[in-house]
């Protein structure tokens, strides 16, 4: 038997191991032989592959939210509570989704978030319409008018991340799955609760970076990594 044999062990990410066979027959041992496994020195390409695997293991999903100012939160929350009372769904922290589902390392994401917040200024948001959707997170939403400052500032922000899936700026009022009839009632309920809600306008002054937990649709376990106040 050869004293050293190289094998490929898929359980260890496809990286080769050294298997040393030691003959103990001359050592009065009860076992005829034993195996000793040791990692052999890996070439640079294999080391890079292992490092890449480690990096991938540390990647997470991230989202960026724009937060409405405190003076409009009572109006938004009142509408949310009214919808939730009739149609159910989790409690939502009011926010405008800017970017979502970004798979990155935390270090890179934080740096890009800081860089992006550095080049944009506070901007005005005007509600364009109330919309419903078949998607859980956009069941009932305020669609933000993309014309003017918002589109320019968010466009500059998104380019820093080189993200290929920018979100249509929206503020979700209800999460869930509703029938067409329920969606119609929900839209009507919004303006019943707050007649001027469809023409809401406010300035965005703060962005938040969140670590997503895609298993938690309530978003209650999502971790806020960093919040930054935008320049005037």
Listing DSSP states for 216-230 in one string gives -TT-TT-EEEEEEEP
DSSP of 104-131, one letter per residue?
EEHHHHHHHHHHHHHT-B-EEEEEEEEE
Out of 60, 163, 170, 220, pick the active-site residue: 170
Q: Which of 4, 60, 95, 163 is catalytic?
A: 95
The span from the CA of 4 to the CA of 24, in Å, is 15
Is 163 labeled as catalytic in the residue annotation? Answer: no
Phi, psi of 7 (to 5 degrees): -130, 165
Residue reference for tokens 């041992």: 29
The b-or-e profile of 58-95 (16+ CB within 10 A means b, else e) is eebbbbbbbbbeeeeeebbeebbebbbeebebeebbbb
Reduce the DSSP state of residue 174 to 3 states and report it. strand
- Of the candidates 101, 99, 115, 113, the one whose C-alpha atom is nearest the C-alpha of residue 64 is 99
The residues assigned a catalytic role are 95, 170
């Amino acid at each position: 038997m050869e004293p050293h044999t190289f094998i490929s062990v898929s359980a260890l990410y496809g990286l080769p191991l050294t298997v040393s066979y030691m003959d103990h027959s001359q050592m009065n041992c009860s076992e005829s032989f034993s195996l000793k496994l040791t990692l052999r020195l890996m070439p640079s390409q294999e080391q890079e592959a292992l490092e890449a695997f480690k990096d991938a293991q540390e990647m997470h999903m991230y989202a960026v939210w724009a937060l409405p100012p405190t003076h409009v939160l009572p109006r938004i929350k009142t509408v949310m509570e009214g919808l939730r009372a009739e149609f159910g769904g989790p409690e939502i922290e009011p926010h405008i989704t800017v970017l979502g589902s970004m798979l990155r390392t935390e270090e890179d994401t934080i740096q890009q978030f800081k860089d992006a917040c550095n080049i944009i200024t506070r901007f005005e948001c005007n509600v364009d319409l109330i919309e419903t959707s078949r998607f859980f997170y956009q069941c009932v939403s305020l669609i933000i008018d993309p014309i003017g400052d918002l589109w320019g500032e968010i466009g500059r922000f998104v380019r820093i991340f080189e993200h290929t899936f920018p979100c249509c700026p929206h503020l979700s009022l209800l999460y869930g799955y509703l029938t067409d009839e329920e969606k119609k009632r929900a839209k009507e309920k919004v303006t019943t609760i707050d007649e001027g809600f469809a023409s809401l306008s406010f300035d965005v002054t703060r962005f938040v970076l969140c670590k997503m937990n895609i298993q938690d649709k309530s978003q209650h376990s999502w971790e806020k990594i960093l919040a930054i106040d935008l320049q005037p």
